[in-house]
Chains A and B, each alone.
Chain A
Amino acid sequence: MTNQVARGKSTMDYEKLVQTEDFKGLVKRKKNFATPFVIFFFAAYFILPLLTGYTKILETPAIGAMTWTWVYAFSMFIMVWVFTSIYMNKAKHFDVEVDKIIEKNVLK
């Protein structure tokens, strides 16, 4: 028994598979879904040090003695949990699409 990854002797026509409308649609929908989230969380993450480093606006009290720095930081936590849940729900729909693509184009 070998554990070599099968390569080079593929029997599948992947060039044709990736050109199917189903697959192109899946990739496009995945991209359209994920891109705004990825841009948003990277932006939110790197805006924090820019605001704390170059301005003092986060150093004013927000709730009692807790400053906006901390509110921003806690919002990052909430963002992570919310985005994770959204991703989870969305991924279930993509799973269904993937199953259809495999069934229709590969297992035919």
Chain B
Amino acid sequence: MSWISYVIFFAVIALTLYITYWAAKQTTTASDFYTAGGSLTGWQNGMAIAGDYLSAASFLGIAGAISLNGFDGFYYSIGWLTAYLVVLFLIAEPLRNLGKFTMADMIGARFGAKKVRGAAALNTITIVMFYMLAQLVGAGALIKLLFGIEYWMAVLIVGTMMLIYVLFGGMTATSWVQIVKAILLMMGTIIISFLVLMKFNFNFISMFEVMKTATPHGEAFLHSGVVYKDTIGLISVLIALVLGTAGLPHILMRFFTVKDAKTARSSVIYSVWIIGIFYVLTIFLGFGAAKFVGADAIIAENAAGNMAAPMLAGVLGGDALESFVAAVAFATILAVVAGLVLSGASAIAHDIYGQIFKNGNVTEKQQVAAARWASIAIGVASILLALGSEKLNVAFLVSLAFCVAASANVPTILLTIYWKRFNTTGAVASMLTGLIVALVLVAISPSVMNPVEGATLITGNPIFPYANPAIVSVPAGFLAAWIGTLVSSKRHEKDEVSYAEVRFKAETGYKELDL
């Protein structure tokens, strides 16, 4: 890579460090640290949601998947976008109205028992660790490729940067890094898409004609089924995509960074436009890479196709554009891991330490200190795991994170808001069952078990046929909620708040403490 890449690379680092320096001066309370004091406006939070949401999996992953598998790659775009309707229609406002810092707060607003909060925190930490490990390993490989530095050094650079943002700047720095990244990502994607469209003489329809013969798949490239030959397997993936989003702790946490449910709602509107436009443009990234880079060259760099977008930028715009896109990818990863560290830290410091061990009796100063220590713990643990996982195929970690979110979190979130009879036992049963079923089924799925030696963690025939088990694990989460609730319906748990109160607060956003 040329000197241009270094200039752009260091410009991104300098800008984000300046943001952190500025944010650090306004981060003093726990609320500042976790939620930027609830001070973000609708558009700021909308951009930050987009920045949080459009991870490397969206930018590098979908571009690569479409370029190699055609329409099957586009399912990810459709799934992740439709997921936004689930968040908007069913979850965003009640969550904002009931919670404070974390998803566990919202469930805890109805079920005060420590085991409920503990289970919710456990799920959050599990999802965060899987997701972050995938991002860090991906980041290490990407930076190694782009700048020719060693893998361990690349992981350390990303890990150190994310810790600096979170430790000093908390949610304020993290949010602004995400906003900057969202702007850079949209710029990069729009430039590439424009250049691709120009190559096709600005004729969107004839582009499809060209793509019929541009890839080894021929016409099948434009149809569903290149990868997903089995429809049940495809539906399982789509369930995880559309429901998983609504259970991702770092996405849900973003709704607490605004002052009320109205602002939370308006931020979803902004982000849905940005994210929607981005996902439409993934077609140009994917088609462009398939046509102008070619499947062989893309696979030669990375078997999963992760380098398709930067390579396409290089072909279309030379070194300067490729460097810019590489820097965008770097910023993308930084912004997402910072958000993940923060939500993992909130589960440890706020839910486990503050609420479970200290019963909520912690001073402001203790809370902030605990949050910083928890960030270090989560950050260091994930860096160490990432250092030892260079050779690991990380794609299954992302699918695992989505699957756990969909199976372990979403049933409890929905039922806490909408089911009158739901109780403490039902919530704990649902969260643990969803978590365990998802973990076990992935462990015996083709993502982990493959008869070809060395392709996956375990050599052998997969016991469970689908790479993504959501079609079984999500119903399991709901079923456990139902059974758990029925078998314990006579028992009275003292820490349960009446459904009337939860319902009233969820619908109106009314809080007694505000009076």
Contact = CB atoms under 8 A, between A and B. Distances in A.
B208 A5 contact: no
A80 B84 CA distance: 8
17 contacts: A1-B364, A4-B360, A7-B497, A8-B112, A18-B504, A45-B79, A45-B82, A49-B231, A53-B224, A53-B225, A64-B205, A65-B205, A65-B212, A69-B223, A77-B280, A84-B268, A87-B265
B389 interface: no
Contact of A17 (B354, B359, B495, B504): B504
A4 B30 CA distance: 13
A88 to B, nearest CB: 6
Closest 6 CB pairs of A and B: A53-B231, A4-B360, A52-B224, A64-B205, A65-B209, A14-B501
Contacts of B78: 45, 48, 73, 76-77
Max chain B Cβ within 10 angstroms of own Cβ: one of A23, A58, A65, A88: A65
B2 interface: no
Interface class of chain A by DSSP: helix
Interface in A27-80: 27, 30, 34, 37-38, 41-42, 45-46, 48-50, 52-54, 58-59, 63-67, 69-70, 73-74, 76-77, 80
A4 B361 contact: yes
B498 interface: yes
Contacts of A41: 82, 85, 89
Interface string B479-515: 0000000000000000101101101100111101100
B68 interface: no
A38 B423 CA distance: 25
B273 interface: yes
B81 interface: yes
B425 interface: no
A80 B81 contact: yes
A69 B82 contact: no
A33 B225 CA distance: 36
Q: Is the interface of B mostly helix, strand, loop or mixed?
A: helix
Given A37-B89, A49-B231, A12 B512 contact: yes
Given A52-B223, A52-B225, A3 B513 contact: no
Interface stretch (B151-159, B234-242, B396-404): B234-242
Contact of B208 (A64, A77, A80, A87): A64
A64 B206 contact: yes
Nearest to B105: A5
Nearest to B350: A3
Nearest to B237: A49
Contact of B276 (A1, A8, A18, A80): A80
Given A7-B497, A63-B205, A84 B84 contact: yes
B367 interface: yes
B208 to A, nearest CB: 4
Nearest to B364: A1
B231 A7 contact: no
B82 A49 contact: no
Interface string A1-25: 1111111101110110110000100
B81 A64 contact: no
A18 B222 contact: no
Greatest chain B CB density within 10 A among A7, A37, A50, A69 is at: A7
